Amino acid sequence: MTADKPRLGYVGLGLMGGPMARRLLAAGYPLTVWNRDPAKAEALGDAGAAVAVSAAAAARASDIVFTCLTDTAAVEAVVFGPDGIASGARRGGVLVDFSSMRPDAAAGFAARLRAETGMGWIDAPVSGGVPGASNGTLAVMAGGDPTDFERVAPVVAHLAGRFTLMGPNGAGQTTKLINQMIVGCGFAIVAEACQLAEDAGIDPARIPQALAGGRADSPVLQQYLPRMAARDREVQARIAIMIKDLTTVMDEARRLGSALPMTGLATELHKLLAKRGLADADNAETIRLYTNE
């Protein structure tokens, strides 16, 4: 660690990871990046980051390593696979994983990394989408050791409006699943509201303004109903990711014996969208469940 700022690594520079890494670079941290698609790492290199030849090399150059990957399998491969983060992990370092995955997998990976390398692990899934990643206003739900959490909190403050330690490793992932339950159901009901407004001859784009501050108000309403009304197809978060997360919710519910009928319906509605070829489309495309477009 340098006298004033820790050396950072960032692995996984996609829709979310790219903007987050840029914010850390803009905050003046020494940053080393790696991505499975080298072109995305080169873009950060042009902005001033060091580009590593492997995830292991990024870890060797860093006191704190951030990862933002698609799913459990991707995290396992990048951390524990050949030339993975574990190969270059620094004893006493901390890995902060912004990916979303099963809570038991996060807890298992954390225990394995600490046992094999002495490196800590904070599971830190995020909510807020690309706008939150770009603006530094993400909600980050954490699980892990309190000492590791306090160590990384000043850095994560450049990325998040809220960074909350929910318990030991895995607790952050469970909290993210709860977040996705609410958001996934929200997309479905907001799409229905948009369609009802259109059928009734009301401009759906005015609904968020009319309901602002009331009990129906929410970021999903404010951000997504206007996008649905405008048929805005810019990809900020993919339906496939929501399906992955909601499927994990339902798996966890079966394990715990929890009854989640509303979430189950939202899961199936998102799967219908994927069947229609919209897996890689934005969540605003949920409106297409109710249209002939």
User: If residue 24 lies in a helix (H) or strand (E), which one and from where to where?
Assistant: helix 17-26
Residue type, 273: L
Evaluate whether 12 touches 69 at the Cβ level (below 8 Å). Answer: yes
Say whether 5 is catalytic: no
Please count the helices (runs of H) and the strands (runs of E) in the chain: 13, 9
The pair phi, psi for residue 96, each rounded to 5°, is: -115, 110
Catalytic residue among 5, 40, 176, 275: 176
Rounded to the nearest 10°, the torsion over CA 124, 245, 253, 220 is: 90
- Tell me the C-alpha distance between 255 and 40, whole Å: 38
DSSP character for 278?
A: I
Burial, 172: exposed, middle or buried (Cβ in 10 Å; 0-12, 13-18, 19+)? buried
- Tell me the C-alpha distance between 251 and 41, whole Å: 34
* Positions marked catalytic: 176
